[in-house]
Amino acid sequence: METKTFIKNGAAETKLFGEETYIQCCLGAFRGEIYFDYKYRHTNGQEFTTLRRTLVQCRAERDFWLREKTVSFSGHRAERMTRNSPDTQKRLTDIGFDTYTAITELCKRDYHTFLSGMANGFDLIAAEEVLNAKKTFPYIQLKCVLPFKGQADRYTQADKQRYNAILAQADEVILLQDEYSDRCFLRRNNYLLDNSAYLVVFYDSTPTGGTAYTLRHAIERKIQFQNVCYNRK
User: The whole model's pTM is what?
Assistant: 0.85
Look at residue 12 in the predicted model and tell me its pLDDT.
Answer: 38
What is the C-alpha separation between 30 and 91, in angstroms, rounded?
68
In tens, the pLDDT along 189-230 reads 999 999 999 999 999 888 888 899 999 999 999 999 999 986
What is the C-alpha separation between 225 and 233, in angstroms, rounded?
18
For 229, how many CA atoms within 13 A lie in the half-sphere containing its CB? 24
State the DSSP code for 155: S
pLDDT category, 65, cuts 50, 70, 90? Answer: very high
In tens, the pLDDT along 157-182 reads 999 999 999 999 999 999 999 999 99
- Structural contact between residues 198 and 224, judged by C-beta atoms closer than 8 angstroms: yes
Locate the domains of the chain by residue range. Answer: 3-66, 68-227
Report the CATH architecture of 68-227: 3-Layer(aba) Sandwich (3.40)
In tens, the pLDDT along 145-159 reads 999 999 999 999 999
Please report, for residues 79, 97, 118, 185, 197, the alpha-carbon distance to residue 85 in angstroms, rounded to integers and kept in the order given: 10, 17, 23, 28, 32
